[in-house]
Each structure stands twice: as structure tokens, then as C-alpha cells.
Amino acid sequence: MAETHEFHAHKLFSLEGYVCVVTGGGTGIGLMASQALAANGAKVYITGRRMEALENAAKSHHPAEGSDVKGGQIIPAGPCDVTKKDDLEKLVKEIQSKEKFIHLLMCNAGVGGPKTVPDEEDAGDLKKKLWENESVEEWNDTYKVDVTSVYFTTVAFLPLLQAAIEPNGPLPRFAPSVITTSSMSGMMRHAQGHFAYNAAKGATVHLTKLMSAEFQRAGIRVNSIAPGYFPSEMTAKSSDDKQKSELPAEKVQEKGHVPLMRGGKEEEMGMTVLYLAKCEYVNGEIIAVDGGVLNVVGGR
């Protein structure tokens, strides 16, 4: 039985000694996740296509000197285009040259895809608008990044995740895990003008469930975070000199379907990442962190 002192937050969510890999870790949700992991003691390798952004993120958000938590680091790795098998293999070998195993993989890289609002009532006008403003290539590119790369990134790292399990590593079965970044958009019937993105994120949700069931044999958990509106380059279209973005509350309020009337706080994303990283009893779950949007917009 657990004694009361064992319920201290720093014990429940300590990641000292953990090794993590986060794709798309240089900005947005990937950077929020990396900060949360590193602040609680993890060594976090962040990767993406833009090495300059990764290096700047690591330099700007390295855990503070003198922190009570020891060992936390944010380390650039790559560059890596997660849609390319060769890049993924190189990334695995790079991590493997430094680490015997990893505790956590977060598949976070993603793109927004084309946007066309289906607001025409006449079917001819509706066809013309959608047909002329979106392409098969854009749809395929969205799916390739948001779904296919999640699958192949996870598969590439399975051996390093399993290597953390006893007797080869220090962890019990199902302690190593994968977190995918899906979206509330993959769980709702409102297209938001993002047919390609929402369909791809819906596939990411189901892929997470498939992997969580099939990879149980290897002793690895797979869960997903389905964010609502968080400050990122995808939502804000830009980031500052520290790779951070701003999402004013007014912009979120304009949407009319967010009960909290604001975007998500970076710390709220961090809380969710820590929970899924540490709670070994959670597998195959899709956790919406959306300010209550899915209570208002049909989908669940």
C-alpha cells in the first residue's frame, strides 16, 4: 500500500532517468511536451525538419540551472523528415548511439492541410468551390504526415522502447509508451473547412487504437492526446524568437464553440503529457484536451 508521502506530485510524475523522443519538438505542442518532460528530469531528444528551430528551442528552453529536479535536458536530433524511412532509420541510429533504450516516444509532427469552407447551398457551387480549391496531392501530403508517418515512426522505435523492459532494462512491461498527437478535429462531425485534416486526424485516432492493441505483445502502451486550440505555428501561423506562438483569447472566442472562451494553456498540455508518460494503467485512450469543445460540437 502507498504511504501518503508517495502521492507527492514530484514523486508521481518524476521522470528522472527517463529518455524521451519528440517529433515536431521544436515548436507548438511538441515543444510544450518537451519542456514538461525535461522540467521533470527527462532527457528529451527533439527532432524535426528545421535544425535551426530545434537548436533554438533547446537553447531557449533548457531547464534552469539550480532546479530541484536533476538530469532534465532538451537535445536537438536530426534533422528528420518523418515521412521518409531513411530519415527515421538515421534518427533511430543516432539515438541508439547514445542511449540503450528510450522510455517514451511522442509522435507529434503534423500539418494542417488545405482549407475550404463548404458554405454553398447550391450543389454545383459547392462542387466548384471544393473541387477547384483542393487537390489530391494536398490531401495525400496531409495524410502522409499526419497518419502514415505516425505509424512508421512508432514502428521504427519499437525495439528501443522494448529495450527498456526487464530483464534488459529497468522497467516493467507497459511502462514504455508512445503518445500520438491527434486532434479534437478527428472526433467531430464539423469539418471546419478542413476535410483533409479532420479526416487524417480521425485516422490517427483509430491508428492509435490499433497500435495500442497490437503492440501489447511487445509490452508497449500507445495513447493519444487530442488537443483543441493551443498556441502553435499551425493555429497562430508564426512563432517568436524562442519558437513560441500566441493565441489571443478573442480569436478563440470568435469560433463560438469553446466553453472556456480561451485557448489551452501550455501547462495544461504539459500535465496531460506527464500523466500519459507515467500512468502505466492507461492504454489505448484518446484524451481530448479541448476546453469542452466536444461537449458543444457533435462527434463523440
- Domain locations in the chain as residue ranges: 15-296
**Whole-model pTM?**
0.94
Q: How much is the average pLDDT of 122-137?
A: 97
CATH number for the region 15-296 comes to 3.40.50.720
* CA gap 56, 79 in Å, rounded: 13
**Surface-to-core class of residue 298, CB atoms within 10 Å of its CB (0-12 exposed, 13-18 middle, 19+ buried):** exposed
Query: What is the spatial distance between Cα 4 and Cα 80, in angstroms, rounded to a whole number?
Result: 44
DSSP string, 174-231: T-SEEEEE--GGGG-S--TT-HHHHHHHHHHHHHHHHHHHHGGGGT-EEEEEEE-S--
Question: Is pLDDT above 80 for 236?
Answer: no
276 pLDDT exceeds 90? Answer: yes
* Terminal Cα distance for the chain, rounded: 37
Average pLDDT, the chain: 94
Active site residue 182: yes
pLDDT of amino acid 237: 72
Supply 139's cell numbers: 490531401
Give me the percent of the chain exceeding a pLDDT of 90. 88
- Give, as one character, the DSSP assignment of residue 104: E
pLDDT in the model for residue 198: 97
Nearest to 143 by CA among 89, 191, 186: 186
pLDDT at residue 197 greater than cutoff 60: yes
Only one residue has cell 478527428, namely: 186
Question: Which of 143, 149, 183, 201 is labelled catalytic?
Answer: 201
Pairing of strands 19-23, 43-47: parallel
Burial class (CB in 10 A: 0-12, 13-18, 19+), 51: middle
Q: What are phi and psi of 289, to 5 degrees?
A: -120, 80
Which among 159, 195, 197, 165 is positioned nearest to 181, based on CA atoms? 197
Nearest Cα to Cα of residue 8 among 40, 34, 36: 40
Give which of 4, 16, 6, 7 is closest to 277, Cα–Cα. Answer: 16
201 catalytic residue (yes or no): yes
Catalytic residue among 34, 182, 212, 239: 182
pLDDT at 205: 98
Known catalytic residue at 197:
yes
Residue 237 vs residue 269, higher pLDDT:
269
**Closest by CA position to 229, among listed 177, 288, 287:** 288
Please check the confidence at residue 68 and state whether its pLDDT lies above 70: no
**Residue of 18, 45, 143, 197 marked active site:** 197
pLDDT score at 299: 77
